[in-house]
Amino acid sequence: MKRREFILALGGAAVTWPRAARAQQPGKLPTIGFLGSTTPAAQSQLTAAFVQRLRELGWVEGHTVTIEYRWAEGRSERFAEFAAGFVRLKVDVILTHNTPPVLAAKQATSVIPIVFATAADPVGTGVVASLARPGSNVTGLSSQTPDVAGKRVELLRDLVSGLRRFAILANPDNSYVALEVSEVQAAARMLDLEVALFEIRRAEDIARAFEALKGRADALYILPDPLLFTNRLRINTLAVGARLPTMHTLREYVEASGLISYGPNWPDQWRRAADYVDKILRGAKPADLPVEQPTRFDLLINLTTAKALGLTIPPMLLARADEVIE
């Protein structure tokens, strides 16, 4: 390459290279501590959404930013361990999701900014002081899970003809569970439905719960939690075997043979979480960034599971679905 062409090419690269890279000292890239509550495979779509949006904002992994990944694999006792590790590494920002890991990160540091891609009820669980004024080193996106619990109960009633009683499967060690259970119970009373709670603290509790609920439920309402998410295929397989329709919050459960889900579009939330990380890496303070709420809610139905259960999905419900899995 001629000298003049080389200089021009180099100048062009300087123009297109992300401004974020030029803001860093040579050899020092900003570091994101990524605390995943489940596994890389289970969260691949969400991670990809986050990383792609970062790239659009000028943060290219390995070039302008470093991402340290930690995967708890549904084991809540690892959240505090990983959060403490990020503090020792002196990462520039911690990204996580779901209430338990957010609280673990908050307990580990009051200095390092923390962004949550999802949190069921960040005010009710003490993650932030308020949505408008987070008031600490934590901010992100609420998933409004308890707020739409009543809608999910109504959908379950519309889906299961003659529904009289259903069971909730939930991990009581998750701090938001009591909030959503209360909302589900209130919705059930309004619709004159009986509801019973079955606690899942460990993977070993899943089979025991299915034994205990035999003859006591016409359907299942599954509360989102890292432990239950990791075991979602097993739960749904047992539910189909017991001929119990399942209601979920997240599409991933329906992709793993669950019957129906209604909740926020998580890939969209993870993309928006990248915007928070971008602002913080460029100097913004978490306390000055209000917590945002979902803008997209999706209704998914798995027709293959419905057929296995012997259920006919009402045409009006099918027409309302954002996606049907066949």
For residue 315, give the CATH number of its domain. Answer: 3.40.50.2300
pLDDT recorded at residue 319: 94
- Percent of all residues in the chain with a pLDDT value above 90, rounded to a whole number: 78
Residue 225 has a pLDDT of 87
Q: In the predicted model, is pLDDT for residue 202 greater than 70?
A: yes
Residues 230 and 282 in one domain: no
Provide the pLDDT for residue 10: 37
| Least confidently predicted of 60-64, 105-109, 224-228, 233-237 | 224-228
Average pLDDT on 110-123 reads: 94
pLDDT at position 27 is: 60
Amino acid code (one letter) for 248: H
Asked whether residue 202 falls in the same domain as residue 85, the answer is: no
pTM for the model stands at 0.80
β-bridge pairing 138-140 and 114-116: parallel
Q: Which of 134, 110, 113 is nearest to 122 (CA)?
A: 134
- The H or E element that residue 177 is part of is helix 177-190
Mean pLDDT, the chain, integer = 90
Contact (CB, 8 A) for 104 and 258: no
Q: Evaluate whether 126 touches 100 at the Cβ level (below 8 Å).
A: no
Write down the pLDDT at residue 278: 98
Rounded distance between C-alpha atoms, residue 195 and residue 200, angstroms: 16
- C-alpha distance from residue 270 to each of 76, 81, 173, 227, 246 (Å): 21, 23, 24, 20, 25
Question: Do 226 and 252 contact (CB within 8 A), yes or no?
Answer: no
pLDDT at 270: 97
**Average pLDDT estimate for 220-228:** 92
> Are 125 and 84 members of one domain?
yes
Mean pLDDT to the nearest integer, 108-133: 93
172 touches 205 (CB < 8 A): no
Band (157; pLDDT cuts 50, 70, 90): very high
Same-domain pairing of 279 and 223: no
Mean pLDDT, residues 35-49 = 93
Pairing of strands 31-36, 93-96: parallel
Spatial CA neighbour of 133 closest among 287, 304, 275: 287
Same domain (yes/no): 160, 63: no
φ and ψ of 247, to 5 deg: -110, 135
Would you state the structure tokens that stand for residue 278, as one six-digit string? 């971008």
- Claim to verify: residue 140 and residue 159 sit in the same structural domain: no
- pLDDT at residue 220, as a whole number: 98
Q: Count of residues for the chain?
A: 326
Chain centroid to CA 79: 15
Q: How many CB atoms lie within 10 A of CB 13?
A: 9
SS3 of residue 238 by DSSP:
helix
- Give the contacts of 299 (CB within 8 A, at least 6 positions apart): 155, 260, 261, 262, 320, 321, 322, 323
Ramachandran angles phi, psi of 75, nearest 5°: -100, 105
Q: Based on the structure, what is the number of domains in the chain?
A: 2
By mean pLDDT, which of 23-27, 61-65, 142-146 is the weakest?
A: 23-27
pLDDT digits (tens, 9 = 90+) for 12-40: 433 333 444 334 445 689 999 999 999 99
Give the pLDDT of residue 228: 92
Are residues 135 and 283 both part of a single domain? yes
Do 31 and 180 belong together in one domain?
A: no
Which contacts qualify for 186-192: CB closer than 8 Å, 24 or more apart?
A: 186/150, 187/149, 187/150, 187/153, 187/154, 188/153, 190/150, 191/153, 191/154, 191/157
308/234 same-domain check: yes
**168 token code pair:** 């909730």
- How many whole angstroms from its chain centre is CA 248? 12
Q: Are residues 177 and 193 in the same domain?
A: yes
Q: Tell me what pLDDT residue 179 has.
A: 85
Do 259 and 276 fall into the same domain? no
253 and 225 inside one domain: yes
Domain with 42 in it: 3-144+266-295
Q: What is the largest CA-CA distance in the chain?
A: 81
User: What is the residue-wise DSSP string for 98-150?
Assistant: SHHHHHHHHHH-SSS-EEES--S-TTTTTS-S-SS---SSEEEB---TGGGHH
Q: Which of 62-66, 98-102, 171-175 has the lowest mean pLDDT?
A: 171-175
